[in-house]
Amino acid sequence: MSRQVVAIVGRPNVGKSTLFNKLAGSKISIVEDTPGVTRDRIYADVDWLKYNFTMIDTGGIEPTTDDKMLSYMRKQAEIAIETANVIIFVVDIKTGLTDADYKVADMLRRAHKPVVLCVNKVDNRQKLQYDVFEFYNLGLGEPYAVSSAQSTGIGDMLDEVVAHFDEEDVDNEKSDIPRIAVIGKPNVGKSSLINKLLGEERVIVSDIAGTTRDAIDTVVKYDGNEYIFVDTAGLRRKNKIEKEGLERYSIIRTVTAIENADIVVLLIDAIEGITEQDAKIAGIAHERGKGAIIAVNKWDAIEKNDKTMYKYLNDVDTTLSYMTYAPKIFISALTGLRIKRLFENIDIVIQNHALRVSTGVLNDVLYDATAMNQPPSDKGKRLKLYYITQVSIKPPTFIIFVNDKSLMHFSYKRYIENRIRESFGFMGTPIHFIIRERK
């Protein structure tokens, strides 16, 4: 369940972006239809052997002067240490070892996280094989010789990366307790909400033993049900990097939290109203197929009349038009307003995210839908929808068999989705469709 996260760190110009793009391959394009998310290519999906993991590029805006280099490198390393399961440390054979490389290696070593040392730009292995040995001096174990430009050595390096994955963590279905991430931009009230939840009278906080994520996840019991709030450590005792409000850092943090959750509670600041940054964060949860609740926070702090709530609902639906399935509630982390309602919504969304519908009933709905609104046709050929079946949950995913995929337009797919939602609910969860041809 918890998805492994791999972070790339290294000095500017060692080839991090080149490596990132090679590893991400075509996968990066998956994000493209979610507004705002691809522009800064912070993370991507990577497939290697039986593994599918999330890769993050910790390098952001690079320093222009040498004296800023070390603090830049330090920040990258901190982000990686805090969020990743395995770190790829990229160095450059052309420049050789630098002072900054040594300092970062020290930090990484002290963090006791698995590190894979990638010596990049080894374009000519034969000629450079002895030069690679120099990198043993970093004390990070075996250097892997890679040419990102020529795509050589990458496979061996990835073998080493996945060898460090926590197997138990990778296939853990060991706990049925639903996992929830509280997400939102800096200062929206995430820490306040977590602290409020943990301080609630009805809440019993306990610890789970034996998992690697203990330190960051919190188990909570509310009205007899158990929940795991993921990645709460940084929120309970706010950490210093987050305070600096570094946008990239907060996105990386968000991606990691989302990956480790089933559903998210997205906080919107009522005082500021909904913004592009909210849309970016929501987009990540949507694109990762997570259940979602939108909670407009700080509801205590604004002046209201009978139209205020309606206006917010409207603004949220307009800005997050791809996420109209999410229930919206108005809360205050400060006063505890509607915390009970929040838990009720969490229960509903968890259920819907894992809902299965039987094939018979699904096909009845499909049949009625196509009878009521004829499928589109093009150049005399009409789309036929033969059969629908649900193949997975979290999120609910359906295969529809058709005569010709190219005839299945977005608007008709949307129509089918709406009919399915009308029939079965699915409030709070995205639903996915796979269209297959059957001649």
Q: Which of 292, 291, 290, 315 is nearest to 302 (CA)?
A: 315
What is the nearest approach in angstroms of ligand GDP to the Cβ of residue 180?
15
What is the nearest approach in angstroms of ligand GDP to the Cβ of residue 92?
8
Q: Which stretch binds ligand GDP (CB under 6 A): 80-88, 215-223, 292-300, 309-317?
A: 292-300
11 appears as a binding residue in the annotation:
yes
Query: Which H or E element spans position 275?
Result: none
**Torsion of Cα atoms, 160 then 166 then 172 then 176, to 10°:** -140
- 363 scored as a contact of ligand GDP (CB under 6 A): no
- 95 scored as a contact of ligand GDP (CB under 6 A): no
Closer CB to ligand GDP, residue 300 or residue 347? 300
The gap between the terminal CA atoms of the chain, to the nearest Å, is 36
Burial of 85 (0-12, 13-18, 19+ CB in 10 A): buried
57 appears as a binding residue in the annotation:
yes
61 appears as a binding residue in the annotation:
yes
Which pair of tokens denotes residue 286? 């949507």
Task: Out of 13, 129, 318, 418, point to the residue binding ligand GDP (CB under 6 A).
Answer: 13
Task: Out of 205, 301, 391, 434, point to the residue binding ligand GDP (CB under 6 A).
Answer: 301
What is the nearest approach in angstroms of ligand GDP to the Cβ of residue 114?
21
Those residues with Cβ within 8 angstroms of residue 415's Cβ, 6 or more apart along the chain or in another chain = 369, 373
- 14 scored as a contact of ligand GDP (CB under 6 A): yes
Task: Out of 7, 10, 357, 369, point to the residue binding ligand GDP (CB under 6 A).
Answer: 10
E strands of 11-139, at which residues? 43-48, 51-57, 86-92, 115-120
Task: Out of 4, 7, 9, 15, point to the residue binding ligand GDP (CB under 6 A).
Answer: 15
Closer CB to ligand GDP, residue 336 or residue 376? 336
188 appears as a binding residue in the annotation:
yes
The CA distance from 393 to 395, in Å, is 5
User: The sheet that has 385-392: what strands, in order across it?
Assistant: 385-392, 397-402, 432-437
The CA distance from 113 to 273, in Å, is 39
**Considering Cα of 235, then 237, then 241, then 242, what sign does the dihedral take?**
positive
DSSP 421: H
* Residue span 115-154 as binding mask against ligand GDP, x where in contact by CB under 6 A, dash where not: -----xx-x-----------------------xxx-----
- 83 scored as a contact of ligand GDP (CB under 6 A): no
Site for ligand GDP in 172-201 (CB under 6 A): 184, 186-192
The CA distance from 118 to 140, in Å, is 10
Which pair of tokens denotes residue 248? 């990239």
363 appears as a binding residue in the annotation:
no
Query: Residues comprising the binding site?
Result: 10-17, 57-61, 120-123, 184-191, 231-235, 297-300
Tell me which residues touch ligand GDP (CB under 6 A): 10, 12-18, 59, 120-121, 123, 147-149, 184, 186-192, 235, 297-298, 300-301, 332-334
**Residues annotated in the binding site for GTP, as ranges?**
10-17, 57-61, 120-123, 184-191, 231-235, 297-300
